[in-house]
Amino acid sequence: MPRFNWLFSCIACAGIVMADALPIRSQALLPYTPQIDSEQLEQQGFLLLQDAIQLVRFQKYELALPRAELASQLAPDNYEVWFILGSIYLQQNEIDKGIETLEQAKTLAPDQEGILFTLGNAYFQKGDYQTALEKLQAGLKIRDDVPEALFDLGNTYLKLAEFDRAIDSYEKAVNKEKTFWPAINNVGLVEYEQGNIDDAIKNWEKALEIDAEQAEPQLALAVAWYIQGETRKGLELGESALNIDERYADLEFLRENLWGDRLLADTKKFLETPQMRAIITLNQKEAESLEEN
């Protein structure tokens, strides 16, 4: 289709140039204008959308985006086109453009829960937690068994400081999917902020029983153990966590991952210990060495 549009433009432009160059006659030769089949254009839009979806699956968002954008022009009345395009914008961190596009999809399919869930996530990223809550709740009224949506709802309640509702949403997510460790992890975050350190520890331990290689529950558990006086145990687990993912040494990164003020304050103390500073420095040097090579 890009080639068809390009050829059509060339023909049109060539016609104008030729018309200007020819002498004025009573019966001038008109440029050929091809007939446009709207059904064929829409079908081409669907083919482009399929290409975009395949590229998204391989996280090739830069390649998927122009295909999805063109598909939205060729099949503007299809909500799936706008849905995919809006989702790609979000992956590219173009939040406002993503929301605008997803709202267009919602106009075409107001009762499509996937659009509402994605809009909820988008408004959450924008920091508009009240609108995020409304979109997620609307989607869950249509379908209430989607763990990811329940997880997003829990995160939204957490940002709104509605802790009991946050825990309830996380637990509903786990009831739908027993191995959904991020929800269990975030119950620990809420419990810690409420001063329930023992309950937080239990949740982080449970999360690690599901996936022992996750850096976030490892570091959170390490901090909790350290604060509880189990210094050696905490430092060993903290080293393991940062060796998995050095980003968790960044307090701003932790805040973006919904770590609360109480846990952040304790984590700051933990990361400032000589042992953890040594690990952080070593990881930074290794990262710099890899970049140079």
* Predicted confidence (pLDDT) per residue in 249-264, tens digit: 999 999 999 999 999 9
87: tokens are: 């989702």
Domain with CATH 1.25.40.10 in the chain: 49-109, 179-293
Q: pLDDT higher for 33 or 142?
A: 142
Region 65-87: mean pLDDT is 94
CA torsion sign for 205, 211, 213, 219 is negative
Which has more confidence, 146 or 37? 146
H and E: helices and strands count for the chain: 16, 0
Asked if 172 contacts 203 with a C-beta cutoff of 8 angstroms, the reply is no
User: Looking at domain 179-293, which of 3.40.630.30, 1.10.10.60, 1.25.40.10, 1.20.58.220 is its CATH number?
Assistant: 1.25.40.10
- The confidence band for 286, taking pLDDT boundaries of 50, 70 and 90, is confident
Q: Is the model more confident about 3 or about 255? A: 255
Q: Which residue has the tokens 């998995």?
A: 244
Q: What percent of the chain has pLDDT over 70?
A: 86
Q: Which of 46-55, 78-87, 227-236 has the lowest mean pLDDT?
A: 46-55
pTM of the shown model: 0.82
Contact 173, 180 (CB under 8 A): yes
Give residue 18's pLDDT band: very low, low, confident or very high (50, 70, 90): very low
pLDDT band at 230 (very low <50, low <70, confident <90, very high): very high
The structure tokens listed for 284 are 């930074």
The fold adopted by the segment(s) 49-109 is 1.25.40
d(CA 80, CA 165): 32
Q: Is 90 exposed, middle or buried (0-12, 13-18, 19+ CB in 10 A)?
A: buried
Which residues neighbour 132 within 8 Å (Cβ) at sequence distance 6 or greater?
Answer: 120, 121, 122, 123, 124, 152, 156
Whether the Cβ atoms of residue 78 and residue 108 lie closer than 8 Å to each other: yes
Q: Residue 38 — very low, low, confident or very high, per pLDDT cuts 50/70/90? A: low
